[in-house]
Amino acid sequence: MALLQISEPGKSTNPHEHRLAAGIDLGTTNSLVATVRSGSPAVLVDEEGESLLPSVVRYRADAQPQVGRLAVAAAVEDPHNTIASAKRMIGRTTSELKTLHEVLPYRFDNELAKIPRILTADGPRSAIEVSAEILSELKKRAESSLGGELTGVVITVPAYFDDAQRQATKDAARLAGLTVMRLLNEPTAAAVAYGLDQGSEGKYAIYDLGGGTFDISILHLHEGVFEVLSTAGDSALGGDDMDRLIAEWILERCPCELSGNDSEATFLRQLMLVARETKEALTTQESAEVEIDMPGGEKWHTQLDKTTLDSIIDPIIDKSLLPCRRVLRDAGITQDDLDGVVLVGGSTRVPRVRERVETFFRCEAYADVDPDSVVAIGAAIQADILAGNRPADDMLLLDVIPLSLGLEIMGGMVEKIIPRNSTIPVGKAQEFTTYKDGQTAMSIHVVQGERELVTDCRSLARFELRGIPPMAAGSGRVQVSFKVDADGLLSVSAREMTTGVQADVTIKPSYGLTDAEVEQMLRDSIDYAEEDMHARMLAEQRVDADRTIEALVSALEADGEAFLDEEERDRLTAAIDSLRTLREGHDADAIKQSVEALNALSEPFAARRMNAGIHSALAGHNINEFGE
């Protein structure tokens, strides 16, 4: 007799039923969603058969936001409420967006705030909320096509996205009601799609130039293993910048005067759209007609040919080739070691881009898979594996972190714990010690970047380890451990080795999209991050000065008359007084130099005291007593 399986309500009667999962390419210009059906990845389309969803959202008062082509159609007439290129803003502070304001002509809620929120007819909106609207639309498309709720998604991000940008992307997905199984670097997703579809082996450069971001990665493809050897890029470089240069070229020749009011914003948005259309037309034509609706109502015409376009956009291509040189050096290879270069991203459709890339890498550029959809397809393949629809050992992804992670140490310097291009997931630990007698706590400042000074790197988090046993400076042992998960997100812990007391933090700069109290805490930490960093550096120098002064004053009181003449004591006393004065100021470098000068001046005194101590210890003993 056959057994009848009875399942719980809402549970599948077939434990091996295919789980619905999707890969999402959340792009600057366009976004896509793909899935695996009957073992083959495919991009999902909307009711009109369109696969590309323009990454544009229009906000209206007392109405649902418009997403995609409807929003694009309204962009010229309603530029302030129609937000494009949100990906260039996600996870960034207002100060970081200042260089993008020419490309992003929006009105911000508070120009002085660290968290950028764009003023719209439906209220202030952050880039995370804009991205959530796009993801919600893709979710609807996927669930409508697949006929059920998604188990989870894999969302792609530029390889050069930092922790804040990655976490902000996950926050946007959470707002859209999506479960993120993995954040996958875009070049790696492209390699997954390309490698599995073409069965390629060898070393490949993945040149990914999208609408607003650029990534270059060197990958080694071998028997289903995708190993990222190195990665570099620019999270604010792409086709949008080409459009801006074309628009500037048109504006220089257009006989119009900008008024500085809302009509100017409408005209500039139209100019950007015309620039993009002209660029796209010149991918297949030798020349294109440029037509502009002037502010007065009349039309203005000009011609742009392919040769002129090439000269206009060459600076953008030049800028993309700088990371290409660096990524080859980091991977320890030359162009001759490559088996090919894979083109990814809509901007690689421009013939000049392909020509320059092939010249630089000295090998053929492959674009067999649609450059617009290849990233989404790779994400769909990975989502299918993570959902459990196929064996996980079908494919192994060895991704890397794009920027070094480390700690602030004395003097405002950075100690790198995990260097860039380390394969993830990864964990590393390093021991540190106390710097003051009787110290019972340690402040730990986590930073990200390649520069040697904390001021030149990005502050990620601060936390404190308390409960260190009081002991002499340099005697404590504190082990700090860094762990980066498969999404590229970081957690840090600190443990005092003798007592076992521990503190930890998960780096989650979500930019205020949790509950109200956490939101305020995160806002405060961002608003005062720079001031806190400078205050910390100054405090460290003051602590060092106090320690130096305290030790030297104590030594002078004990042995000053015995080992120093009056002139030497006066010089040391004057130097101590000078350091005390500087210590009350705000010039950390001056304090540091004064400490070094005082240490150098006191060296003869310290040497005499040491010699006296040695003589005292040896008095009454024979040297032979200290033999074997």
Q: Tokens 């950028």 identify what position?
A: 116
Q: How many CB atoms within 10 Å of residue 546? A: 14
Q: Which of 215, 278, 283, 214 is nearest to 244 (CA)?
A: 278
User: Going by C-beta distance under 8 Å and a sequence separation of 6 or more, which residues neighbour residue 543?
Assistant: 435, 436
Q: Tokens 């470098």 identify what position?
A: 589
Which two three-digit tokens encode residue 396?
């192994």
Q: Tokens 């993830």 identify what position?
A: 424
Distance in angstroms (rounded) separating the CA atoms of residues 344 and 272: 23
| b/e 192-202 (16+ beta carbons within 10 angstroms → b) | bbbbbbeebee
SS3 366: strand
Q: How many CB atoms within 10 Å of residue 270? A: 18
Which two three-digit tokens encode residue 177?
């009601």
CA dihedral over 44, 397, 161, 248, signed as positive or negative: negative
Radius of gyration of the chain (CA): 30
Distance in angstroms (rounded) separating the CA atoms of residues 564 and 567: 8
Q: Which of 158, 41, 34, 26 is nearest to 85 (CA)?
A: 26
Distances in whole angstroms, Cα of residue 457 to Cα of each of 9, 37, 98, 450, 582: 53, 44, 18, 7, 27
Catalytic (active-site) positions: 25, 87, 186, 208
Strand ranges of the sheet holding 426-432, from the earlier edge strand across to the other edge: 426-432, 478-484, 490-496, 502-506
- Backbone angles phi and psi of 562, in degrees to 5: -75, -35
Distance in angstroms (rounded) separating the CA atoms of residues 73 and 70: 5
Which two three-digit tokens encode residue 478?
């504190």
Q: Which of 211, 200, 161, 190 is nearest to 23 (CA)?
A: 190
Note whether 183 and 169 are within 8 A (CB). yes
Query: Where on the phi/psi map is residue 488: left (φ > 0), alpha (ψ -120 to 50), or beta?
Result: left
Distance in angstroms (rounded) separating the CA atoms of residues 425 and 400: 8
SS3 330: helix
Which two three-digit tokens encode residue 601?
């001046």
